[in-house]
């Protein structure tokens, strides 16, 4: 018995020894698992992002945003499902990579030295420049030394903190700043607006998109040169095949124009709207819109239309003035011509309800007549252009687009050709001749911009933020009732 026990003990010791000897190899094996194979096996790609208008957010049609759109395409290319995760600050985002609870961090992230030392990253897919933002009316800072003594806010865990630390140790020891524990730079601009900070550091792409909501804020100066935006991957995993796949994917999107299209879609509409317009718009959203919002919603609903779009069109047409008139004879909230009004059965153009209905119906008619192949949202933007210059000219611009090798079903491609309808060498070969194409483009881009701002204003209201109140689970008719009364 004694010998048997001793032998068993020996065997156990051997087994333990073998386990100890093998442990590093086993762990290594787990750690170095090929992430591409793992994603495919699981059938799911997990992307962590920040909840913000420039990255990933919910609008009334569901999830959207630049990073979301890219992630959807990547999951498609991998032929797996996409799971988006969000975090409430940048530390949590990288912590998720550390814990290997996401495959990719896609969140408008800048390529930095500290980050690259730890996390593998993709090739760049966008460029951005960090900028110092100030409130007009205050002294405009001209360079770095002007940041000293001011309350400067940045997102905590951001590339900007890394940059400020480097500047403090190399150039300006007195530099100070406050780190805000949020994921969305809108929070920084809010602090500026409420006079709780005097300067903010925000990336150029974020600021252009958000500026309309904060029309008194402006870029003081660029903080350094243009930087790369990249995706980061978890450390300590065999990411080589996944990275190769991602980099190929980005290159393909670059080559076939998808990246440019997505950039245009998510950031492009902010170009061209002047600061004055933006300022006035923000003011009118507060002062005028509430008067007409209910009516606009009701009429939009009658025509199964997004009310933000109808509101944006009405703003572009008349600045929400139901009595507006122009020397060219167009009138009312939607600035209808006499002929169009007659066609639409509008007998009093200065009647706000009739005018809004007329505009909504007119757009709907145009949309119905556009070829099916044009998909949303391009369909809406093209319909708006036709609303302005007529379907015939839009068709001319689409044909011209095709002749020049562009895609006649994509708004961005058509938008580039519309102004050519004003040049003889182009319009002489079209069916309908000269048209004020540039004006149509401005009109559409303005409407898109107003539309986005109005839709974004609602974001906080539609984000599914925890914790939810009990009422949120109940049908509306039961809201406000005591739970036990059920």
DSSP class of residue 467 equals: S
**203 contacts ligand GLU (rule: CB under 6 A):** yes
- The H or E element containing residue 438 is helix 437-457
Classify 176 as helix, strand or coil.
Answer: coil
The nearest distance, CB 86 to ligand GLU, in angstroms, is 14
The nearest distance, CB 113 to ligand GLU, in angstroms, is 12
**202 contacts ligand GLU (rule: CB under 6 A):** yes
Candidate residues 96, 160, 331, 367; the one interacting with ligand GLU per rule CB under 6 A: 160
Stretch that binds ligand GLU, among 62-70, 151-159, 323-331, 430-438 (CB under 6 A): 151-159
Classify 218 as helix, strand or coil.
Answer: strand
Candidate residues 159, 211, 316, 409; the one interacting with ligand GLU per rule CB under 6 A: 159
Candidate residues 49, 51, 89, 158; the one interacting with ligand GLU per rule CB under 6 A: 158
Q: Which of residues 361-380 bind ligand GLU (CB under 6 A)?
A: none
**Is position 317 annotated as part of the catalytic site?**
yes
The nearest distance, CB 236 to ligand GLU, in angstroms, is 21
| Secondary structure string (H, E, C) spanning 109-165 | EECCHHHHHHCCECCCCEEECEEEEEEECECCCCCHHHHCCCCEEEECCCHHHHHHH
Alpha carbon distance 66, 53 (integer Å) = 9
What Rg value do the Cα atoms of the chain yield, rounded? 28
Compute how many other C-beta atoms are within 10 angstroms of the C-beta atom of residue 91.
16
User: Choosing from 317, 439, 458, 482, which is the catalytic residue?
Assistant: 317
**Cβ distance to ligand GLU smaller for residue 121 or 349:** 121
Peptide bond into 175 cis (omega under 30): no
**Cβ distance to ligand GLU smaller for residue 160 or 448:** 160
The nearest distance, CB 185 to ligand GLU, in angstroms, is 5
In terms of DSSP bridges, do strands 152-155 and 178-180 run parallel, antiparallel, or are they unpaired?
parallel
**Cβ distance to ligand GLU smaller for residue 102 or 202:** 202
The nearest distance, CB 452 to ligand GLU, in angstroms, is 19
CB 421 within 8 A of CB 393: yes
Closest listed residue to residue 377, CA positions, set 269, 251, 252, 456: 269
- State the helix-helix crossing angle for 352-369 and 378-389, rounded to 10 degrees: 110
Measured between its terminal Cα atoms, the distance across the chain in Å is 71
Compute how many other C-beta atoms are within 10 angstroms of the C-beta atom of residue 363.
21
Alpha carbon distance 318, 322 (integer Å) = 7
**Cβ distance to ligand GLU smaller for residue 131 or 452:** 131
Stretch that binds ligand GLU, among 13-21, 152-160, 320-328, 331-339 (CB under 6 A): 152-160
Alpha carbon distance 422, 417 (integer Å) = 10
The nearest distance, CB 204 to ligand GLU, in angstroms, is 9
Q: Which of residues 63-122 bind ligand GLU (CB under 6 A)?
A: 90, 108-110
CA of 125: how far to CAs of 67, 107, 231, 388, in Å?
11, 12, 9, 35
Quote the tokens at residue 169.
């140790």
Q: Which of residues 177-196 bind ligand GLU (CB under 6 A)?
A: 185
Q: Which of residues 206-265 bind ligand GLU (CB under 6 A)?
A: 206
- Per rule CB under 6 A, count of chain residues that contact ligand GLU: 12
Residues 6 or more apart in contact with residue 355 via CB below 8 angstroms = 322, 332, 333, 334, 336, 346, 349
- The H or E element containing residue 85 is strand 81-87
The nearest distance, CB 393 to ligand GLU, in angstroms, is 41
The β-bridge partners of 135 are 217
Quote the tokens at residue 303.
């025509």
**Cβ distance to ligand GLU smaller for residue 186 or 412:** 186
**Cβ distance to ligand GLU smaller for residue 205 or 430:** 205
Quote the tokens at residue 260.
């440019």
**324 contacts ligand GLU (rule: CB under 6 A):** no
**Cβ distance to ligand GLU smaller for residue 90 or 414:** 90
**Cβ distance to ligand GLU smaller for residue 111 or 295:** 111
Stretch that binds ligand GLU, among 157-165, 291-299, 357-365, 438-446 (CB under 6 A): 157-165
In terms of DSSP bridges, do strands 44-50 and 81-87 run parallel, antiparallel, or are they unpaired?
parallel
**Cβ distance to ligand GLU smaller for residue 206 or 378:** 206
The nearest distance, CB 189 to ligand GLU, in angstroms, is 10
Q: Which of residues 376-435 bind ligand GLU (CB under 6 A)?
A: none
The nearest distance, CB 25 to ligand GLU, in angstroms, is 37
Catalytic residues: 317
- Which residues make up the interface to ligand GLU (CB under 6 A)? 90, 108-110, 155, 158-160, 185, 202-203, 206
């Amino acid at each position: 018995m004694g010998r048997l026990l001793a032998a068993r003990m020996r065997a156990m010791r051997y087994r333990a020894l073998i386990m100890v000897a093998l442990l590093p190899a086993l762990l290594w094996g787990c750690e170095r698992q090929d992430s591409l194979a793992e994603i495919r096996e699981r059938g799911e790609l997990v992307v962590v992002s920040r909840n913000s208008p420039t990255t990933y957010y919910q609008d009334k049609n569901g999830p959207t945003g630049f990073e979301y759109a890219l992630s959807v395409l990547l999951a498609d290319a991998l032929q797996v499902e996409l799971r988006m995760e969000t975090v409430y600050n940048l530390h949590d985002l990288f912590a998720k990579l550390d814990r290997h609870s996401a495959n990719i961090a896609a969140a408008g992230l800048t390529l930095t030295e500290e980050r690259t030392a730890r996390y593998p990253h993709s090739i760049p897919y966008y460029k951005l420049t960090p900028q110092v933002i100030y409130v007009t009316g205050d002294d405009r800072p001209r360079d770095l030394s002007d940041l000293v003594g001011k309350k400067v806010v940045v997102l905590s865990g951001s590339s900007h903190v890394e940059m400020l630390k480097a500047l403090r140790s190399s150039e300006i020891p007195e530099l100070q700043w406050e780190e805000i524990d949020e994921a969305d730079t809108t929070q920084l601009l809010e602090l500026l607006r409420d006079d709780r900070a005097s300067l903010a550091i925000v990336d150029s792409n974020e600021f252009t998109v958000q500026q309309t909501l904060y029309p008194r804020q402006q870029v003081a100066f660029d903080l350094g040169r243009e930087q790369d935006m990249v995706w980061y991957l978890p450390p300590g995993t065999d990411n080589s095949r996944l990275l190769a796949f991602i980099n190929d994917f980005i290159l393909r999107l670059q080559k076939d124009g998808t990246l440019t299209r997505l950039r245009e879609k998510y950031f492009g509409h902010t170009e061209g709207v002047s600061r004055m317009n933006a300022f006035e718009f923000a003011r009118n959203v507060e002062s005028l819109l509430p008067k007409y919002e209910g009516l606009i919603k009701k009429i939009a609903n009658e025509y199964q239309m997004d009310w933000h779009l109808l509101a944006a069109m009405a703003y572009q047409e008349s600045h929400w003035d139901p009595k507006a008139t122009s020397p060219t004879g167009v009138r009312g909230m939607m600035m209808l011509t006499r002929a169009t009004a007659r066609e639409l059965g509008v007998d009093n153009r200065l009647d706000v309800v009739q005018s809004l209905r007329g505009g909504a119906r007119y757009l709907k008619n145009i949309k119905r007549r556009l070829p099916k192949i044009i998909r949303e949202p391009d369909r809406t933007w093209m319909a708006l252009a036709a609303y302005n210059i007529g379907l015939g000219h839009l068709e001319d611009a689409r044909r011209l687009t095709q002749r020049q090798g562009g895609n006649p079903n994509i708004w961005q491609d058509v938008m580039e050709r519309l102004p050519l309808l004003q040049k003889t060498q182009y319009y002489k070969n079209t069916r309908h001749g000269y048209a004020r194409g540039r004006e149509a483009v401005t009109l559409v881009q303005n409407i898109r911009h107003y539309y986005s701002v109005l839709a974004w204003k609602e974001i906080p209201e539609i984000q599914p933020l925890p914790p939810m109140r009990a009422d949120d689970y109940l049908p509306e008719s039961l809201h406000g009732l005591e739970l036990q009364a059920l």
